[in-house]
């Protein structure tokens, strides 16, 4: 996908997108659908279309791809009550599977009161769980920063102790 897009070999955005969609049956992992979602969500070659991006990332997930962070980003940016409910539901499922990024997103939802009642204690607990996963040590370092922020926001001696012990 990147090669086709970067070389613009096939001309206009509409031609490139048509080529990708015409070959969608070749996608078995959801990667092609994820790239189409990326194109729509970032406005590559045309205006952004978060509705189309959400549709394509759901297709990618339906093929078993692990593209939940992209889903969370798209739905969070749209931010409708239904989107936030979907993030919460999918993130709970991911957290139950041990996915650190899903746990981190639950921390964000509770910290900001988006789709759930604002609860700084719940936020800190989700970030704490997320901070102990592989994701926090590798590709999602934001979890570590947001965990210390959540502890700071609690403004009590116990959270301060936890924050300084973690940092």
**pLDDT 10s digits, 72-103:** 999 999 999 999 999 999 999 999 999 999 99
CA distance 116 to 21: 36
As a whole number of Å, the end-to-end CA separation of the chain is 40
- The SS3 call for residue 49 is coil
Give per-residue pLDDT as tens, 156-165: 999 999 988 8
| Model confidence at 54: pLDDT above 90 | yes
The predicted structure's pLDDT at residue 24: 73
Give per-residue pLDDT as tens, 21-37: 777 777 778 888 888 89
Longest dimension (CA), the chain: 61
pTM for this predicted structure = 0.81
The predicted structure's pLDDT at residue 46: 67
Taken as a whole, the chain contains a residue count of: 167
């Amino acid at each position: 996908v990147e090669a086709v897009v970067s070389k613009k070999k096939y001309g206009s955005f509409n031609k490139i997108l048509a080529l990708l969609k015409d070959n969608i049956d070749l996608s078995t992992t959801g990667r092609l659908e994820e790239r189409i979602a990326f194109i729509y969500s970032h406005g590559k070659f045309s205006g952004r279309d978060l509705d189309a991006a959400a549709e394509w990332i759901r297709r990618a997930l339906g093929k078993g791809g692990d593209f939940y962070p992209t889903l969370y980003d798209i739905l969070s940016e749209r931010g409708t009550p239904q989107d936030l409910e979907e993030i919460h539901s999918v993130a709970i499922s991911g957290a139950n599977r041990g996915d650190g990024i899903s746990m981190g997103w639950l921390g964000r939802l509770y910290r900001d009161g988006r789709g759930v009642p604002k609860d700084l204690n719940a936020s800190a607990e989700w970030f704490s769980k997320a901070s102990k996963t592989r994701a926090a040590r590798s590709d999602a370092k934001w979890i570590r920063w947001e965990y210390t922020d959540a502890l700071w926001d609690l403004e009590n001696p116990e959270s301060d102790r936890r924050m300084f012990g973690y940092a």
